[in-house]
Structures are given as structure tokens and as C-alpha cells.
Amino acid sequence: MSVEVTKLANGLTVATDHMPGIGTAALSIAFGAGSRSETPNEHGLAHLLEHMAFKGTSRRTALQIAEEIEQVGGDLNAATGIEQTSYDARVLAEHVPLAVDILSDILTDPLLTEEELAREKGVILSEIGATEDTPDDIVYDIAHATAFAGQSIGRPILGTPQSVTALDRNAISDFLGRHYKGERGVLVAAGAVDHREVVKLAEDHLGGVAAAAGPGISPAIWKGGEVRTHRDLEQAHLVLAFPGRALGDTDTLALQVFSNILGGGMSSRLFQEIREKRGLVYSILSFHWAFADTGLFGIYAGTGEDDLEELMPVMLDEIAGTTVSATEREVARAKAQMRMSLELAQESPPSRTERLTRQLLTLGRPVGAEEILERLEAVTLEDVKRVGLAALSATPSLAAIGPVSGLPPFARICERLGAPSAAA
């Protein structure tokens, strides 16, 4: 494995993945603090902090931050997730020191002015509004919130208009002080990078970050249930979700194989039976999101009002049937799809950086492509059927938006799957 890892005295982890023949570098400074780290009064704060980090420091204005990185052909970005927030740069090899300097500056010395705070709140409120106007996006948030009802892991990352409006500078500073600490941080770089150089840059720019962080996340508890929202739309959008597997679980890859067989491509069971043979949907797919201690596996479908009543029984039968009738050929095809995705990611410095960042923050160690492929090849047909059946044994989470009057009662959906209609 090409990855080298060093831990600084303050607990911050520095990792590099050198890629021969690459002239650029992708860097990320990330902290294990996303929306799941928020208290109820902080809903949306992690995402707001991500926005505010780029709005100026004591050394640079927001314009100077943008000009300095773009002057050398680079770019900056950031992403807030459920369990982490990352601040990213892509630059030519010779500009790695500048990228580390800028990223460290915005994270250790953000000004958080009231003027910029008011402006960014407005931007985020517009972002929330845009999401609300996109039913095929918001239905995932609703299913997730229903699956983990009453818990930070289930709350939408963006927050609500009410929660974002109520946030102030003190709340942001407090969150920053609790969570952006050495023991919860990483600096990861991939591409044209030298490990010793990156470690020295990390020590110079991030060595002064305090070590100890605040309390960690609370364990997730699966709830399940349903939310149906009637809207005057052309299509009904629905997500049916079940408990998934944690990132480090030995059965995570097996459940991903099950998901791919079910709805991972044009040859998948759901696509062939429901889209190709019956024409009941415009879009149908399955997905699996793995978190630190839990996961969420689900199916999305978008269909017309007239097809909804026929769609659900067929979809439910395909889901349940796959736990019994999945074949060796389907397992092999799903593995090939997953290997292709992994190999493509290996060719991209940003993809390597993203994967390594998540592994370090969630698992505490790098997991090379070779290890992942070895574990993938070890997955058997029996494993796939077993984990699929286990997922379906819990009360599902159902979210539906649009003309959904033709959707069967929740109890009937659960009965067809052989799952309980209420969480134990």
C-alpha cells in the first residue's frame, strides 16, 4: 500500500498517498464533526461553519482566499457530511505548501463576522428552499429522518429555516472549540506529494491545534415508520429503507453486493422487472450508506400516480425474493461492478483522498484497495442472502412524496416483506 501515516503530538493524523506519474495533488483537512455532532439547538451548524470558514481570516479576506488559490490554477471546496466535514484543495505539485497554508488559515483563524454570518444564512436558506423544491432529493432526507427519528444522525444536514436563523456567532465558536481538535482531525494528501514535506507543513500550520475534543457521537438506534406527503406533482417519489451495516462491519461489502444485485444497474433485478419489462417507473435504484456504527440500505423509485398501486407489490416481491433466489452469476456481476468503481477511484487523487479521509476518521486506519478487493472476493452467495434477509427483518422506513394515495397501507407493505410494522 502506498499510504504513509504519521500522528502529530496533538493527535492530528497526517496521511499521504503518493501516485507516480501524477503532476497534481489533492488535499483535505477534515474533522470528525458533521451534522451528527450537533445538539438539537445546533441543527445546521456544521454546514453553516463550513460556509463561514471561507469568509475571511485575520490574514486574508474572502476575495484573497479565492484569488490566491486560483492564481496558481488551484481550487478550493468543502463538504459537510453526517459524520465529518472536509475542506479540500486541488493544486499543482509545487503549490502544496500554499494549499496547506490556506486551508489551515481558514480553519484555525476564521473571523466569523456578523455581516458575513447574516449573508451566509441567507444563502443556506435559499439552499434549503431549493432542496424542498426537489422531491426526488428531499425524499431521501425524509426516509433517513424516519429511520433514525429523534436523533442527530437522522436530522437533515442543512438544518431548517428556523434552526439556521437562530444560530449565532457564539454557537459557531463553541462548536468549533469542541470538535475541531487534533484528536479528531486529519490532513490527507494524494497524488504528487511527499510524506515528509506534508508532515512538516502539518506541524507548522496545525501543530498548535488543541488535542482534546468534546464528547463523541451517541449510538444510533433504528426506529422505522412512514411519512407520506401528498403534493400536486407529476410523479410520486418514494424511498423504502432498512437497517444497513457500519463501515467497519464484516458484512458491509456483502450488503453492498445485495444492493447491487437488487438495483445497482441496468441489469439489476428491479430495473429489469419494473422498468424494462413492466414500464412502471422512470427511475429505480438501490443504495447503501455506511456510517460509524450503523447504516441505511434502501430503494428509490419515481413513478406516475396510475402506476403506484401496481409498482409496490412487484417491488416488494423483488426485494424479498432476492434474499432467496439470488444467484452466483448475479454475485459475480455485482462484484465486477464494485471492483470497477474501486479501480476508477484509484486513478483519481481526489477520490483517494476522500476514501482515505473517511477511513482514518471512522476506522482509525487506512484500508488499501488490495484489502478491500480481497474481502470483496471472499463474499459468498450465502453471505449475500443472509445479510439481505437480516436487513428486511426490521421495521422499514418509508417516505413518499407526490400523488401517493395509491400506496398500500404501511402494515400491508411490512406484511408482504415479512417485517414487523412497528419497531420493537
pLDDT at residue 216 in the model: 83
| Domain residue extents for the chain | 3-206, 225-417
Q: Which of 186, 157, 150, 173 is nearest to 3 (CA)?
A: 186
Distance of CA 378 to the CA centre of its chain: 26
The model's pLDDT over 334-346, given as tens digits with 9 standing for 90+, comes to: 999 999 999 999 9
pLDDT at residue 212 in the model: 87
CATH homologous superfamily of domain 3-206? Metalloenzyme, LuxS/M16 peptidase-like (3.30.830.10)
pLDDT at residue 283 in the model: 95
- 166 burial (CB, 10 Å; 0-12 / 13-18 / 19+) is middle
pLDDT at residue 215 in the model: 82
Contact of 337 with 265, CB cutoff 8 Å: yes
pLDDT at residue 214 in the model: 79
Bridge partners of residue 396, in order along the sequence: none
pLDDT at residue 423 in the model: 63
225-417 placed in CATH 3.40.50.1000: no
**Two domains, one topology: 3-206 and 225-417:** yes
> Residue ranges of the chain with pLDDT lower than 70?
423-424
Q: Which of 38, 42, 50, 68 is catalytic?
A: 50
pLDDT at residue 414 in the model: 93
The whole model's pTM is what?
A: 0.94
**Residue 336: enclosing H or E segment and its boundaries?**
helix 328-346
3-state class (DSSP) for residue 231: coil
pLDDT at residue 421 in the model: 76
Q: Quick one: how many helices (H) and strands (E) in the chain?
A: 16, 11
pLDDT at residue 137 in the model: 93
pLDDT at residue 82 in the model: 97
Find the largest Cα–Cα distance for the chain: 63
3-state class (DSSP) for residue 402: strand
Annotated catalytic residue 309: no
